[in-house]
Amino acid sequence: MHFPVPPLPQDCLAGRVILVTGAGSGLGAAAALAYARHGATVALLGRNEARLEQTYDAIRAVGGPEPALFPFDLGAADDAGFERLAQTVVYHLKGLHGLLHSAQTFFQLTRLEHQTLEQWQTLMRVNLIAPFALTRACLPWMLQQPDASVVFTGESHARSPGAYWGGYALSKGALEGLARIWDQELELTPSVRVNTLIPGPVHSPFRTRTHPGEAPAEIPAADAILPWYVWLMSPQSSAIHGQIVHCQPT
């Protein structure tokens, strides 16, 4: 669905702790910076510590609350690792109000017969299984809040799978189903809402890989869709549950 974003106060995320996966680059880093600009304390999660430090520095440069770095390999963690991660975030940051699943993995656009079992296992592990496991680990802490938000990042090609998108499209399509199930199972605990955000075509490292011949000026910049990221994490969207939200940059 298309939701217009209402005007948001600059401090609409003040006092909130938000965990962002894939926070070292791309839309994850951009979202983390936007959350900090609106007052949130951000837990930065990613495999590459050097990239997380760059996001950390960007947040501090704009005067945002001091974030915390959590180098973590989503593709290698087990149940105990996810639970320890959630506990560590809450211990250091004194709570958890939001979880943005922005991390993903992608190999290349190619025919199915050229995709390997190992690639499919990695795609499912990072794009689907890890978001399930991390949400499950974080949920008990988020249920302690009067208002908490889980946002899964969807993909337009997952909604209409086409040639060459293969395992990536199917893993992201299954993620959308996962979000729907979480929403239904949390129906009696409306303090935690679950939604899927579809960024659409936007200039990012991922878009450059999938559309290498596209000029950056032909598509919106990442900043154009950040209001939707902020809105879904803010109390202003507390009535939005179980929706697939399409960004509509102007």
In the residue annotation, 91 being an active-site residue is answered as no
Catalytic residue among 56, 91, 164, 168: 168
Work out whether strand 244-246 and strand 192-198 pair parallel, antiparallel, or are unpaired: parallel
> Are the C-beta atoms of residues 56 and 48 closer than 8 Å to each other?
no
For the chain, strand residue ranges (E) read 17-21, 41-46, 68-71, 98-101, 148-153, 192-198, 244-246
**What is the Cα Rg of the chain in Å?**
17
* Residue 201 CB coordination number (10 Å): 16
b or e along 159-189 (b: 16 or more beta carbons within 10 Å of the residue's beta carbon)?
eeeeebbbbbbbbbbbbbebbbebbeebeee
In degrees, to the nearest 5, what angle opens at C-alpha 29 toward C-alphas 24 and 31? 150
Active-site positions?
Answer: 168
